[in-house]
A and B are shown apart, each in its own frame.
Chain A
Amino acid sequence: MNKDADTVKKVFTCIVCPRGCEVTATLDKGGDILSIEGNFCPRGETYVRNELTHPMRQLTTTVKIDGGIYSRLPVILSGEIPKERMMDVMEAVSDVKVTSPIKRGDVIVADVCGLNVDVIASRSM
């Protein structure tokens, strides 16, 4: 019997860094991971394991700011969130308004949407 017939190969473009490795995961019939190959660093393997089970994403956007050099303050999350919750976070920060001065790294919204990550300022303003 051909062993390959029982396995499925899935190719991923790793998004962890700009290198963009092509990572191939080999799964058995039941969807269990047999091997992960093509990743340059261990983070690629973690990425692919997450993609196959619960895809995670970073999210960046802006919030309103009063008294700054510009009217928008760029923000980033302190960690990744489930991909399907991105729009919930966008909704949660849409009405947030802060006042200058803000320091880079300041928490703008703590534990956003109960996801255990904070929305933090990407820059001082």
Chain B
Amino acid sequence: MITRELVIIGGGSAGIAAAIAAYNKGCRDILLIEKDPELGGILLQCIHNGFGLHRFGEELAGPAYAEKWTDMLGSTAVEVKCSTTVIHLTGDRHITYVNPEEGYVTIEAKAVILAVGCRERSRGAIATPGYRPSGVWTAGTAQKYLNIQGYMVGKKVFILGSGDIGLIMARRMTLEGARVLGVAEIMPYSNGLPRNIKQCLDDFDIPLYLSHTVTDIRGKDRLSGITISKVDENLTPIPGTELDFDVDTLLMSVGLIPDTTLFDEAHISLNRKTKGAVVDEHMMTDVPGIFACGNGLHVHDLVDFVSMEGEEAGNGAVAFLRDELKPADRLSLSPGEGVSYVLPMYICPENMEEKTEIKLRVTGVMRDVSLVLKSGDKKIAEQKKLKIQPSEMEKLIVKRDDLAGLKGELVLSVAKA
């Protein structure tokens, strides 16, 4: 069996950045595996602009951001296999992949980075009642049809879920001549970026129905109409609040979850909230030598941060390969009041760099608050925030020196400023 130093699974933003980071740290035997015919991942279908502001200081279209990274990768000696699907990963880092040239191949890796991206939650995931006609799509699938292949999936559209893909598709379908009758969001706030509410809905007079969900889907062969209802504080539909829409298409933008298909066989522990792997400050899972990053670890809202996390995992994998990650005491990191998740879930002060970034999401829209990291009653780090909301990932920087001598659990909460 062939043994490689580092194998990266997934050639999207996270995987490409991980490969470049590991290469720049001196790793010279890197294999990057991508299932699609070319590198770039989901950005290839995200033709709208707004990518790269943090990284390149300019707003690029998704395909342009991907191409810039692919070009950077091209100047390294990283080996890339496209049209190649990994079908098995074991805890001792045996990787089985298939492709048309080599067939079925198993290799061994000294370190593995999972940069596998995420999947869309579908109609089944939220148990929407009604008939099962054609014309009900996940927003991302409709986006791929339209932007990559040039097919419109419908003419009269309703969108369930105000995640960014749903909002972006509301604008995109409108520009291409469809009528978008509305967007329903079950929560009392939007899950999309505020700018997308403005430029994708308000600009085109598309109504946003907050605290509403789809309660009926009609049509025998093709979708003919839907009903939405207002929901109460328990998210239960309120009888008498029904609104009917005659539409031929319903796009679902109801959340993304990390694709963990490969994680089970390797017995990688998952976090209930992120639905991705439990990782430490080097993005290493609880299976030594297997790392995770990007949307395959937790779903991001900005690709720039996906790239950065890929770099963290790439650097982490090189540290592991050089035996720099020593077995040492580690602190567990938990979400407290107002926080839905924190990442990483463990920090090892001895192994960490001078400082590390804790990423988090909050449970609701809050103003004039502080993010506070505590060990027992002791405040370790604090940062004031004017406004925080679940749709935007927040970060809190923690310094190694501030963690010295601590034991047990760290809790990150939102406190009134």
Contacts and interface: CB of A to CB of B under 8 A. Distances in A.
B175 A90 contact: yes
Interface string A1-38: 00000000000111111101010000000000000000
B252 interface: no
Given A60-B49, A90-B175, A122 B197 contact: no
A74 B194 contact: no
Contacts of B61: 60, 74, 76, 122-123
Contacts of A69: 37-38
Contact of A86 (B49, B59, B175, B193): B175
Interface string B197-210: 11100010000000
Contacts of B38: 69
Interface in B147-167: 147-150
B179 to A, nearest CB: 13
Interface stretch (B6-14, B62-70, B93-101): B62-70
A83 interface: yes
Contacts of A15: 195, 198-199
Contacts, number: 85
A122 B148 contact: no
**Chain A interface residue bracket vs B:** 20 to 34
Interface in B326-377: none
B302 interface: yes
Contacts of A122: 47, 60-64
A15 B198 CA distance: 7
A123 B67 CA distance: 7
A11 B410 CA distance: 39
A112 to B, nearest CB: 14
B64 A83 contact: no
Given A15-B199, A22-B387, A76-B49, A62 B150 contact: yes
Interface string B176-216: 10000000000000000111011100010000000000000
Interface of B: 37-38, 44, 47-50, 53, 59-64, 66-67, 146-150, 175-176, 193-195, 197-199, 203, 301-302, 387
Given A20-B195, A76-B61, 16 more contacts: A15-B195, A60-B49, A61-B47, A62-B47, A70-B148, A71-B148, A71-B150, A74-B147, A75-B47, A76-B47, A76-B64, A87-B175, A104-B67, A122-B64, A123-B44, A123-B64
Interface of A: 12-18, 20, 22, 57-62, 64, 69-72, 74-76, 83, 86-87, 90, 104, 122-124
